[in-house]
């Protein structure tokens, strides 16, 4: 059996490190396109700085717009990393290993982009340091700053720690022609990793501590993001359930983002052998759980306010259910809840395209849902006057497009400096799977089939699933 493990290991390394070694022209073209979009967004931002927020569609009544929608959206998808890598690690779900790296990357990139959004939204961005110099803990915005910076720091550490053995691997596999600076960086980042049992033990311990630490931080982040809204006396925002509602929504869209990222990288970087239908199926079920909870909370939110029908809530519900925003609201219900649920439950057709379609729909619908949480609440008049109106301008759309482009761009660059799957963890899992098979075979009473049923030959099963 030994040689087979070695081959598998080598094959894993080859496939995982391939994107780092080889870069195609279409990659450069794609990056160039993304850079162009980001540059256009930068031009839009310069325009906004020059003239002020008058260049946006926001005005005194609807004074927050799609910048804040993006903020909630990006902070939301950042929960992918925590859920997959921390929760699944703590619960020791071994199937997570090939997708943890991507999940953690989503987290780090999404928080960074998301945290920029309120700064872009500020009237005086040059005074952002006032938040630290004169910060008041009574303000929900300061809670945001504290928990988001903690989350970013924690996620960076949590991305880095499990990457150390892989960085050491890259240090060792660098070709002779690799530049000195590249070698220096990888050597520095690998912090002298030699894969000794003691190092291994310490690393596992550190990762374990971080996994447990990061879960409450992640929950706190989206809770306080919701508090920015629910600490106010506005219809639709003045709600006690908002913390949970936002956390569940974040996990929901986080899983959807991870599914999209997985499907794309699987295709472009030929990771079919490691990211299999099983991962899509399992994540699909997790997404279904989040979907059902989110559906439950949505019904609860609108039923309780709609039953009592306070006048401002009445205005809001009319806007959402039958009025101006009704098209978007029912789009959210159908495309974000009904169709994805059907796609996950009705197991007909190949699983990966099904999950990809469901995930794309969920992410689009969740962006719309954040818009519906934000904007119609602000349109409702609080004094006896007319409803407000909001239509984002080209500046806002450009900056939004740039934010998404920057998200993909950082990802594309990440993929060139670090393996997209955690090589050492997958190798470890393969090894332990092989051992399980060996043990099962050696056991006199057991059969090979039984052993496979117990989750034995992972490699074999992967091959089967790749074909399906």
Tell me: does residue 118 bind another protein (CB under 8 A): yes
Query: How far apart are the C-alpha atoms of 82 and 52, rounded to whole Å?
Result: 37
Q: How far is the CB of 204 from another protein (least distance, A)?
A: 30
Tell me: does residue 362 bind another protein (CB under 8 A): no
Phi, psi of 276 (to 5 degrees): -115, 175
State which residue, 62 or 169, has the beta carbon closest to another protein.
Answer: 62
Burial class (CB within 10 angstroms; exposed 0-12, middle 13-18, buried 19+) of 417: middle
Binding mask 52-81 for another protein (x = CB under 8 A): xxxxxxxxxx-xx-----------------
Phi, psi of 390 (to 5 degrees): -150, 130
Query: Among residue numbers 398 through 437, which ones bind another protein (CB under 8 A)?
Result: 398
Q: How many residues bind another protein (CB under 8 A)?
A: 52
Query: How far apart are the C-alpha atoms of 197 and 183, rounded to whole Å?
Result: 25
Query: Among residue numbers 198 through 237, which ones bind another protein (CB under 8 A)?
Result: 228-229, 231-234, 237
Q: How far is the CB of 80 from another protein (least distance, A)?
A: 27
Binding mask 119-138 for another protein (x = CB under 8 A): --xxxx--xx-xx-xxxxxx
Query: How far apart are the C-alpha atoms of 328 and 66, rounded to whole Å?
Result: 15
State which residue, 180 or 233, has the beta carbon closest to another protein.
Answer: 233
Q: How far is the CB of 245 from another protein (least distance, A)?
A: 18
Query: How far apart are the C-alpha atoms of 87 and 68, rounded to whole Å?
Result: 28
State which residue, 353 or 381, has the beta carbon closest to another protein.
Answer: 381
Query: How far apart are the C-alpha atoms of 291 and 307, rounded to whole Å?
Result: 24
Query: Among residue numbers 254 through 273, which ones bind another protein (CB under 8 A)?
Result: none
Query: How far apart are the C-alpha atoms of 450 and 440, rounded to whole Å?
Result: 8
State which residue, 212 or 382, has the beta carbon closest to another protein.
Answer: 382
Query: Among residue numbers 135 through 194, which ones bind another protein (CB under 8 A)?
Result: 135-142, 145
State which residue, 63 or 268, has the beta carbon closest to another protein.
Answer: 63
Query: How far apart are the C-alpha atoms of 389 and 59, rounded to whole Å?
Result: 8
Contacts 24+ apart (CB under 8 A), 52-58: 52/123, 53/121, 53/123, 55/393, 55/395, 56/392, 56/393, 56/395, 56/396, 57/390, 57/391, 57/392, 57/393, 57/396, 58/390
State which residue, 126 or 198, has the beta carbon closest to another protein.
Answer: 126
Tell me: does residue 387 bind another protein (CB under 8 A): no
State which residue, 67 or 265, has the beta carbon closest to another protein.
Answer: 67
Query: How far apart are the C-alpha atoms of 287 and 265, rounded to whole Å?
Result: 20
Residues that bind another protein (CB under 8 A): 44, 47, 50-61, 63-64, 118, 121-124, 127-128, 130-131, 133-142, 145, 228-229, 231-234, 237, 381-385, 393-395, 398
């Amino acid at each position: 059996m030994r040689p087979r493990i070695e081959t598998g290991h080598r094959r894993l390394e080859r496939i995982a490190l391939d994107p780092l070694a080889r870069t195609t022209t279409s990659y450069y073209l794609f990056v160039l396109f993304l850079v162009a979009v980001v540059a256009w967004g930068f031009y839009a931002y310069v325009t906004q700085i020059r003239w002020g927020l008058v260049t946006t569609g926001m005005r005194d009544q609807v004074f927050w717009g799609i910048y804040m929608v993006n903020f909630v959206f990006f902070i939301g998808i950042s929960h992918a990393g925590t859920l997959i890598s921390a929760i699944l690690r703590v619960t020791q779900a071994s199937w997570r290993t090939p997708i943890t790296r991507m999940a953690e990357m989503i987290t780090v990139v999404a928080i960074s982009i998301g945290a920029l959004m309120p700064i872009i939204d500020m009237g005086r961005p040059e005074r952002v340091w006032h938040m630290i110099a004169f910060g008041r803990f009574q303000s929900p915005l300061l809670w945001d700053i504290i928990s988001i910076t903690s989350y970013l720091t924690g996620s960076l550490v949590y991305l880095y720690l499990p990457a150390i053995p892989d960085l050491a691997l890259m240090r060792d596999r660098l070709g002779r022609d690799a530049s000195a600076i590249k070698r220096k960086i990888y050597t520095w980042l690998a912090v002298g990793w030699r894969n000794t049992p003691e190092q291994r033990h310490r690393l596992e311990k550190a990762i374990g501590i971080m996994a447990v630490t990061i879960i409450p931080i992640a929950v706190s982040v989206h809770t306080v993001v919701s508090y920015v809204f629910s600490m106010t006396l506005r219809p639709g925002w003045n709600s006690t359930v908002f913390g949970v509602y936002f956390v569940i929504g974040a996990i929901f869209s986080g899983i959807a983002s991870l599914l999209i990222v997985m499907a794309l990288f699987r295709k472009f970087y030929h990771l079919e052998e490691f990211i299999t239908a099983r991962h899509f199926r399992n994540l699909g079920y997790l997404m279904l759980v989040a979907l059902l909870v989110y559906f439950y909370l949505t019904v609860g939110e609108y039923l309780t306010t709609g039953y009592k029908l306070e006048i401002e809530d009445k205005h809001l519900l009319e806007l959402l259910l039958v009025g101006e925003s009704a098209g978007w609201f029912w789009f959210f219900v159908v495309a974000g809840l009904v169709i994805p649920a059907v796609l996950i439950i009705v197991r007909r057709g190949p699983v990966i395209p099904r999950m990809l379609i469901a995930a794309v729909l969920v992410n689009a619908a969740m962006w719309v849902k954040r818009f519906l949480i934000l904007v119609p609440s602000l349109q409702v008049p609080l004094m006896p006057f007319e409803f407000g109106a909001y239509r984002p301008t080209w500046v806002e759309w450009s900056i939004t497009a740039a934010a998404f482009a920057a998200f993909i761009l950082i990802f594309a660059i990440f993929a060139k400096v670090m393996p997209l799957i955690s090589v050492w963890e997958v190798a470890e899992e393969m090894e332990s799977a092989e051992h399980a098979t060996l043990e099962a075979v050696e056991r006199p009473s057991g059969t090979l089939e039984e052993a496979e049923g117990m989750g034995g030959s992972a490699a074999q099963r992967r091959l089967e699933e790749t074909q399906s």
